[in-house]
Amino acid sequence: MIVCARASASRRAILTVPVLLPLLDAARAHAGDSDYKKFLGYSAAPDLYLGYGQKNDNRVADPPLYSFEYPADWTEEIPTKTEKSTMGMDGRVMHPSTRKELAYVVALGGKDYRDSVLKDARSSLIVFAGGDPDLRQAVTDGKVEQATKRVNGSDLFVFDIASDKRRYLSSIGKKGDTVFALVVTAPANAFERDYAGLKHIQDTFQLL
């Protein structure tokens, strides 16, 4: 077998190229920025949203409205049409095996939000926490730290919310007629362990 492979050195040279490429990709995935993938959110209107995700949407020519980076080993879990229409869930990524560490973006637009101004961080947070009972309870009973941050031309309210059960990082901002809220969450023990990756999601979130 070995002799045979040596004998066809030129053929081997050609064959090794496609074999090497995935190896290089794998190597790169362990270095710096490649530990993360970029999520681009398009915030399709609920009546146009078909529940099979932005990537398959016919209107891919529309520019993305927000982005963030998430751990490369996480997977995208496309919100259902019901999640989209009832709570404005627009995009979601999660740890593929625990599924308890996740990040999602809620986008609420239209006439109710066109004239809304995000004056007060805490009340903005309570509006968005509405669809998630655990978050609502953490906001009420837990420890909430908040700050404001200007990211690429938009003011964001940023939060760190800790309850006994879970911890949440959230960023809320408005662009045009739409209010966007990112929520990154994990059970308290997993949060400690995976803090860097979870924080990276919040730190890279921006409205475009």
Ligand X SMILES: *[C@@H]1O[C@H](CO)[C@@H](O)[C@H](O)[C@H]1NC(C)=O
Contact positions vs ligand X (CB under 6 A): 152, 206, 208
Q: The tokens of 208 are what?
A: 């475009």
Residues 123, 158: Cα–Cα separation, whole Å: 13
Task: Give least dist CB 153 to ligand X, A.
Answer: 7
**Token digits for 92?**
């979601």
Helix spans in 88-187 (H): 111-114, 121-129, 133-141
Q: Which is nearer to ligand X, 10 or 152 (CB)?
A: 152
Q: Which is nearer to ligand X, 23 or 208 (CB)?
A: 208
CB-nearest residue to ligand X: 152
- Min separation Cβ 100 and ligand X, Å: 30
Q: What is the nearest approach in angstroms of ligand X to the Cβ of residue 37?
A: 15
Minimum CB distance to ligand X smaller for 66 or for 191: 66
Interatomic CA distance for residues 202 and 170, integer angstroms: 7
Minimum Å gap between C-beta 206 and ligand X is: 6
Three-class SS of residue 194? coil
Q: Which is nearer to ligand X, 72 or 151 (CB)?
A: 151
Residue 138 burial (10 A CB sphere; 0-12, 13-18, 19+): buried
